[in-house]
Structure 1
């Protein structure tokens, strides 16, 4: 329990129009200073000052990633609790709130369009590009080992790209579904699956950050080198959670934290890797637990990236 002075400080930090708007935006997912500046229509120094006050009061958390920083509501403590209590009482019809949400959707749409343009450009050479900085053979062997001896009813590959995971794991599912937002990637994936005579898998166009129910629910969900293309990976995990059967599991492959800014400017990355603590927090928010983590250091430490394989499980009705 915090003392009176601490609580007064938290209330003072939250009790200002712009800062309350920031809290409401961060309730919709993690955001960068750049995006918050664009949404609010205020200068970067001013937005940064407001964010610092909120962070100092424990209302929000700050995660630095290279030259950028991402902010989200505090996961724990009285500050985060108070922020959620306040936001729940902001009317969705409030003009500022409605305008901010509209601009947030505009920012997300712009990011999605930039990513789609990039993926359209690299679709044909995607598998080759993925191998430039990662120990792909070791990672793929670990993914197969995670399903060793098992054949599940349904596997869903979110952000399937060229369908490599559906191809790799073809012997471990009776029905496979790959979902991707890039028409070019889907076209390549369909051609590859046909070439490999994998008839029990299909790919479809869809937004993995806004999943519909048409794919049904999966025993296993794979998210391979996808989350770093999103500002808020936790939001993607929450969406994926809706498509997971009780007792199901997710296999998440992504980079460990790094500082290669050129991946943002040249390759459409939004996040510079994910830490153990971040993944644990996102999993917890989705009512999942981290059952395992394997790391794969690069073959060339001067140029490469460390790759992580997380296994997340849903304990609900899980066989003992």
Structure 2
């Protein structure tokens, strides 16, 4: 308790914790948000991490900081602590700066995919090979009326998805990607597919509008994965399923620049904790092992907690 109180007894460290309660951020992003030098920010982060207030996740040469759960006393006082943070004079400016940092991540991703849409399928397969997993992923999809795919990309999965649901909605934030997907469904005659422009963090779908959401190799491109998972939970019906495939944790640092990856894959326990924290009542994860020169893949099926009326369809 004494170590915690000492760690928090500094205006700069209070602002740092306040920012990291909203998102996972790098040292570079935090220097911009607080308008301070890197050495000063790093020193304060070290104090907070040693006290168990923050935790750090290292991915390649980047380190992401977030509010931790190692200090039991901090966890106990956290609700009241967060309310008091709103009284800091810099609070509104700090929150606005956090939003700008996340927007900068999103903008870099959008510009990349608009630029490489036509070559994306070949580019992704060539630069970062993965084992064959699509048959197993598709096998996780339950029978539903409405299926939503986020990060639809060039629409490579749409023909298969259209065989599994009466209505398929594909969402992507890149107009160029959607144009490629539109060409695909037009040539394949998938008349039950509808494409919509939208962000993963603000899906263009009403609450409970889908019986299943599929996210294939999408989450590692998200600026804020926790917000994305919460938004998926919102658009699912009670009892609806999240079906997800993504990269297991790896160390190919170049993927940030060459493939616009925000995250170098995910640890199984971390991903399971995030999904459960978003409100899903059942989470199952299967690891598809990697061959030579490949990266392993995590397959996830999670069910939104809730009770459906007897006989109701998705």
TM beyond 0.5: yes
Distance 2:271 2:308 in 1: 21
Matched with 2:130 is: 135
Write the deviation string for residues 51-97 of structure 1: whole angstroms up to 9, x where unpaired.
121111111221111111111112463323434431222237x4411
Within the alignment, does 1:312 sit opposite 2:292 as a pair? Answer: no
Mapping of 1:161-310 within 5 angstroms?
161-214=153-206, 217-300=209-292, 303-310=293-300
CA contact (8 A) 1:294 1:308 kept: yes
Distance 2:284 2:275 in 1: 12
Matched with 2:2 is: 8
Inter-CA distance 318–67: structure 2 relative to 1 (3 Å threshold)? farther
Distance 1:260 1:290 in 2: 31
CA contact (8 A) 2:154 2:181 kept: yes
Distance 1:33 1:13 in 2: 18
> In the TM superposition, what is the alpha-carbon distance from 1:290 to its structure 2 partner?
5.0
Distance 2:280 2:69 in 1: 15
Inter-CA distance 165–216: structure 2 relative to 1 (3 Å threshold)? farther
> In the TM superposition, what is the alpha-carbon distance from 1:142 to its structure 2 partner?
0.5
Q: CA RMSD in A?
A: 2.1
> In the TM superposition, what is the alpha-carbon distance from 1:298 to its structure 2 partner?
3.0
Distance 1:235 1:177 in 2: 20
What is the SS of the residue equivalent to 1:156?
Answer: strand
> In the TM superposition, what is the alpha-carbon distance from 1:289 to its structure 2 partner?
4.2
CA contact (8 A) 1:294 1:309 kept: yes
CA contact (8 A) 2:27 2:64 kept: yes
Matched with 1:86 is: 81
The gaps in structure 2 that reach 5 residues or longer are none
Distance 1:23 1:105 in 2: 15
> In the TM superposition, what is the alpha-carbon distance from 1:215 to its structure 2 partner?
8.0
Report how many residues are paired: 308
Distance 1:48 1:14 in 2: 15
Write the deviation string for residues 147-185 of structure 1: whole angstroms up to 9, x where unpaired.
3xx430111111111122322221111111111110101
> In the TM superposition, what is the alpha-carbon distance from 1:250 to its structure 2 partner?
0.6
Write the deviation string for residues 2-61 of structure 1: whole angstroms up to 9, x where unpaired.
xxxxx1211221221111111111121211222111111112222122112111111122
Distance 1:95 1:211 in 2: 33
CA contact (8 A) 1:247 1:319 kept: no
Mapping of 1:70-149 within 5 angstroms?
70-75=64-69, 77-91=72-86, 94-132=88-126, 133-135=128-130, 138-147=132-141
> In the TM superposition, what is the alpha-carbon distance from 1:318 to its structure 2 partner?
6.2
Within the alignment, does 1:47 sit opposite 2:37 as a pair? Answer: no
Inter-CA distance 141–57: structure 2 relative to 1 (3 Å threshold)? same
